[in-house]
Structure 1
Amino acid sequence: MKKIKLGLVSKLVIAIIIGIILGNMKFLPANLLRVLITLSSLFGEFLNFIIPLMIIGFVVKGIAELSEGAGKLLGITALTAYCSTLIAGTIAYFVAKNLFPTFITAELIEKVKGNVEPLTPFFKINLTPMLDVTSAVVFAFIMGLSISWLKGNGRGKVLFEVFDDFEAIISKVLSKVIIPLLPLFIAGNFTNMSYTGSVFSVLSIFWKVFVIVIILHLLYVSLMFTVSGTYAGKNPFRLIRNQVNGYMTAIGTQSSAATIPVNLKCAEKNGVSEDIRNFVVPLCATIHLAGSMITITSCSVAVLLMNGINFNFGTVFGFIAMLGVAMVAAPGAPGGAIMSALPFLPMVGITTEVMQQLMITLYLTQDSFGTAANVSGDNAIAVFIDKLYTRKIKKA
């Protein structure tokens, strides 16, 4: 018989269902449920331990690699990608802030709190991270920029290879430990929510956020193609039609890197010159995360509203601006974007383990759509950059 292989989203859905069922089995001894809660809590401690190492692994290599490229072309592409990510997050914030309160009401917030005390783990091991998040971020930026400078002077190869190998180790930990155990983590969380009686209130919010986020993805990608197509003198509708294969491939693979070959074909159909598409598309697959930013910003606002936490644009924009840099190279690992976001969530008030679990669940259930929006936006940027450089050549 052919072995059935479940994807991450399927496993998460199954974990949610199991958690809901277990939490509602009132005849089960609470101590039996606490076994699962304990395992989930231990995983959470390990996750907090690995997060600073993830920042170092992803950010150092990501920044160091940006020294490779065609000078101004690299700078303009990176700036365009970063601005797009900021704009996407800003749009998501204002849509979420004005739309989400229409269904995340005060009455629903009370139901989310539950009607009984949540279960607690039997014990914790108090696994202390080797570095705190702030130290990891500062160290990563210093090392990334320094290695980039060294490479520009014909040095730093050995140091780059050290952090390249370190990034590979962290990616392996993510793919072989963190991601496979996430369903256990989520099952524990939903068991607790089911036990307290808040789970169905949470799910009633989940599906609405999910739908709005996907609509935002599609609208933002369409906006990007409209702007770049208008600037380049090309039909935006034709550009969007040419991108369908790349979008669907990204949904299926859940990987920006795996979609690059198809995305290059889409760029070719859009008339992007070979040199530009071969440079811009692979680079943006690493640094352009507009779709992921829309999702994380929207989910953050949803979680804040669900917990009755006050927030403002200034605070959230600082989070968006920091995350736009911290997520560099994160798409190379499964779930890398949300994992990169975890250490920065306290900036907006998402501080508890339960809130972080909600963020992970919300994000990963639509990760493939966020990836599809990311790679589609990459081609919109390629169209823009191609026209920009064509004009420069003509002026020269």
Structure 2
Amino acid sequence: MSAAPPALLHRLKRISLVTQIIIGLIAGIALALLAPEVAKSTTLIGKLFVTALKAVAPILVFVLVMASIANHKVGQETHIRPILYLYLLGTFAAAVVAVVASTLFPSNLVLTTHDVAISAPGGIGEVLQSLLLSVVDNPVSALMNANFIGILAWAIGMGVAIRHAGDTTREVLGDLSNGVTLIVRMVICFAPLGIFGLVASTLATSGFGALIGYVHLLAVLLGCMLFVALVMNPIIVFWKLRRNPYPLVWTCLRESGITAFFTRSSAANIPVNLELSKRLGLHEDTYSVSIPLGATINMAGAAITITVLTLAAVHTLGIAVDIPTAILLSVVAAICACGASGVAGGSLLLIPLACSLFGIPSEIAMQVVAVGFIIGVLQDSAETALNSSTDVLFTAAACLREEQKNPA
């Protein structure tokens, strides 16, 4: 009899997180339909999940960014620079697309804002002033108050400083990064329960009109990702190669994007991308560096997710956004995307950083993160597919351009 619980746990482990989240989502909707009063009592489950995310997000950003900079290896001679430019251009362009789409098709969310003070910035001047003050915040205060801009600044500074330390110190920092990532994975494992509580309590309290807002939000997210994959990326590749980009685009989407959609991990899709790059006849010394690098910093899908969800919160709260602030958001979203964690839902944990530009407190920003997990079954899969397929696409574009300039 004692073997039953371990056997049950083993079976649960074999069920993918996507399937578990779908089960939690369906169960939450069913409970809200069949027993609304009982569903309202599940608020605590959702709050526990949001609070856990809120607790782990600051230390996650600090440790991962610091470790990645400290352990970055230099000195390899490759044609990586043009690929790096394409990565950064593509990520920024995706954020701009998301800003335009969110302006044309604004989304409304159901957020709990009572007892939370909201201080909306008056314009780009206040945003920049707040940004500068956040950068120089005390690191302990930044971690305690979830000041993600200050956390990012200190993580970069410490990472650069530790690069000059001994190998042992950098190895310890790498182990610390792995430990924090493991804790995050444990928190994410409770996402199905958290989503069950959030969906059940939200629908029971606010009605099923809240679900319509999620459908609209998901449509905007997926629409942006499709536009980037089928329009924006081909434009960038055409600008680079001056020839029809779609055969290459379709190849990358078919052979890399589909696999990444189901693995939901850019890191897990690296072997697939390396093999595809080899079949495409690309320069081995280049793609062996650019593909792993792309899995870390080429995050167009993450930039879209961060931007769309942030602007959904901004629109819900009635905060006006001027053009300079929208441009600044695109830059911040692109930078945030480059530092997104490789774990499932990693980009969602950086939404509070973007929300802080508009004076949105962490209590509300984490509700937006929770909404992201609710729609994350499709959002995260599509995001990973776009990110991973673009790694190969931009690597191939840069390599083929070098061949055009220097024919054998």
TM-score by length of 2: 0.78
Contact 2:307 2:330 in 1 (8 A): yes
SS at match of 1:46: helix
Instruction: Report whether the alignment pairs 1:373 with 2:386.
Output: yes
Tell me which residue corresponds to 1:219: 227
Q: Does the CA contact (< 8 Å) of 2:94 and 2:228 recur in 1? A: yes
Matches within 5 A, 1:205-244: 205-222=213-230, 223-229=232-238, 231-232=240-241, 235-243=244-252, 244=254
Displacement of 1:130 in angstroms is 4.5
1:285 equivalent among 276, 292, 295: 295
Alignment of 1:62-77 (within 5 A): 62-68=68-74, 70=76, 73-77=79-83
Gaps of 5+ in 1: 119-127
Alignment of 1:83 with 2:120, yes or no, is no
Compared CA separation, residues 72 and 142, structure 1 to 2 (3 A) = farther
Letter aligned with residue 86 of structure 1: F
Q: Which residue of structure 2 lines up, in the alignment, with residue 147 of structure 1?
A: 162
Distance 2:338 2:173 in 1: 14
- The Cα offsets for residues 310-345 of structure 1, whole Å up to 9 and x where unpaired, read as 333433443442343344453422221212333442
Instruction: Give the conservation status (yes or no) of the 8 Å contact 1:251–1:369.
Output: yes
Query: Does the 8 Å contact 2:303/2:336 carry over to 1?
Result: no
Deviates more, 1:273-282 or 1:304-313: 304-313
Partner of 1:265: 275
Give the aligned residue type for 1:219.
Answer: F
Equivalent residues in 2 for 1:88-127, closer than 5 Å: 88-98=94-104, 100-101=105-106, 104=107, 112=110
Q: Could you tell me which of 22, 29, 32 is aligned with 2:31?
A: 22
In 2, the alpha carbon distance for the partners of 1:91 and 1:360 equals: 22
Q: Deviations over 1:231-287 (max 9, x none)?
A: 335542220232111111101111111111221233234442222221211211111
Residue type of the alignment partner of 1:37 = T
1:165 is displaced (CA, Å) by 0.9
Q: CA deviation at 1:293?
A: 1.2
Aligned position for 1:121: none
Shift of 1:66: 4.0
> Scaled by the length of structure 1, what TM-score is found?
0.80
Contact 2:267 2:342 (C-alpha < 8 Å) held by counterparts: yes
CA RMSD of aligned residues (A): 3.3
Gaps of 5+ in 2: 1-6, 116-141
Q: Which amino acid aligns with 1:50?
A: V
Partner of 1:337: 347
Tell me if 1:44 matches 2:53: no
Distance 1:327 1:230 in 2: 24
Q: Is the 8 A contact 2:43 2:201 kept in 1?
A: yes
Identity of aligned residues (%): 24
Structure 2: how far apart are the matches of 1:357 and 1:389?
44
Please give the alpha-carbon distance, in whole angstroms, between the structure 2 residues aligned to 1:337 and 1:230: 29
Equivalent residue, structure 1, for 2:16? 7
2:305 to 271, 295, 298: 295
